[in-house]
Amino acid sequence: MSSPSRRTSTPGALRVLPGGRTRAGAVWREGDPLGDRKLCDIGPLDLETGGHLSAVRLAYETWGTLAADGSNAVLVEHALTGDSHVTGDRGPGHPTPGWWGTMVGPGRPIDTDRWFVVAANVVGGCQGSTGPSSPAPDGRPWGSRFPYVTVRDQVRAEVALADALGVPSWALVIGGSMGGMRALEWAVMEPDRVRAVAPVATTALSSGDQIAWAHAQLAAIRSDPAWHGGDYYDVADGNGPLAGMGVARQIAHTTYRSAFELDTRFGRRAQDGEQPLGGGGRFAVQSYLDHHAGKLVGRFDPGSYVALTESILSHDVGRGRGGVAAALAGVTARTAVVAVDSDRLYLPEESARIAAALPGSPDVHLVHSDHGHDGFLIEIEQVGAVVRDLLESPA
């Protein structure tokens, strides 16, 4: 009797290019619809580790109107696989709806009728900003030649964008997860330009545990035969390491949700119509992870996943500054440190360490959620209340 077949298909979608070639995900390239994004060429960028980018472009979006004195600007920082499309519909140029549309918009906690909101795709990204898929000076994609970019490098690029937009200072810099890392770096690097900061579900430095989870994700992508050492962009088949990035996303997504949610929502239930015990089928939780892997490979670039994960590994606000406590002691912005009580990626204890090191040792705003790390995207009523209070508090 033959054994049941196993699933071997790669989740997600490929984009068809002229001549039948394909490319992974929905990497934005010249000639694609701009959508709501704008492009700003900020010039060369010298990098913290000694590398250099001779020409950097940032894709960004804005909402609302900048006041004459520039006093009403808010910077929203995206997480690992986010981009500049914080709020707005899916459409040409935007493969997904805004990732924080319940937080940003008219009448929402960050009210675009009052605030001029800016969001930029980070250096290393794949939605219009300079990254591994972008053309290098020789016209070929950067690929494996793309230099190591740290969180501080990303913030320095955003400083140049703020200058180009005529923003003298931010009324608020806010971000969750990787975005919270950049928010903290802004407050430390540019204290005179940040009047309030909200690091959400994040950490002051990447821990050994977080580096370990990231290592497995990087290994999944780099071990995919289609990785080609990072130079898959102009390989004949053009598919890229989609299977590897799908596995990386499954590893990551497990850390984004809580054990309680996965157990209560899925438990050991079989996926509808499938037989996981000896039948080659899946448990429902496996199908759920496959679904999220497929969603990502349809909208993201594996090279950017690697570059941005490495930037997360670089994160340590205390590096070269006498340690975390010494670095955060120099923050002058009003602060609201937000943690999610069920977060198992960036534990609430790490937010408590941030708060303890800030001037005045503010309390941590603990958001209750059954959803784990992703609670910062889901529990908008709780997070939004903190953000409203911070924006309304006296300067």
Digit-coded pLDDT (tens) for 237-278: 667 999 999 999 999 999 999 999 999 999 999 999 999 999
Q: How much is the pLDDT for 237?
A: 65
Annotated catalytic residue 177: yes
Please state the rounded mean pLDDT for residues 40-49: 98
In a domain, 298, yes or no: no
Catalytic position from the list 133, 177, 311, 342: 177
Angle, helix 302-314 to helix 151-165, in steps of 10 degrees: 100
What's the domain range around 192? 19-207+316-392
Tell me which of 36, 83, 224, 343 is the catalytic residue. Answer: 343
Among this protein's residues, is 291 annotated catalytic? no
Output the domain CATH number for residue 158.
3.40.50.1820
pLDDT band of 26, cuts 50, 70, 90: low
**pLDDT, position 393:** 85
* 271 assigned to some structural domain: no
**Measured in whole angstroms, how far is the alpha carbon of residue 111 from the centre of its chain?**
22
The answer to whether position 384 is within a domain reads yes
Residue 110 or 234, more confident? 110
Which whole number is the average pLDDT over 310-331? 98
The answer to whether 12 touches 246, Cβ cutoff 8 Å, is: yes
What confidence score (pLDDT) does residue 83 get?
98
Does the pLDDT at position 90 exceed 50? yes
Total domains in the chain come to: 1
Q: What is the pTM of this model?
A: 0.93
What percent of the chain is predicted at pLDDT more than 70? 92
| 15 in Cβ contact with 25 (< 8 Å) | yes
Quick one: average pLDDT of 345-366? 98
Q: Is residue 1 part of a domain?
A: no
| Residue 305 domain flag | no
Residue 359 lies in a domain: yes
Give yes or no: 343 in active site.
yes
State yes or no: pLDDT of 10 exceeds 70. Answer: no
Specify burial of residue 395 (Cβ count, 10 A radius: 0-12, 13-18, 19+).
exposed
Whether residue 69 lies inside any domain: the answer is: yes
Catalytic residue (choose from 224, 342, 373, 374)? 373
In a domain, 244, yes or no: no
The pLDDT, as a whole number, for residue 239 is 75
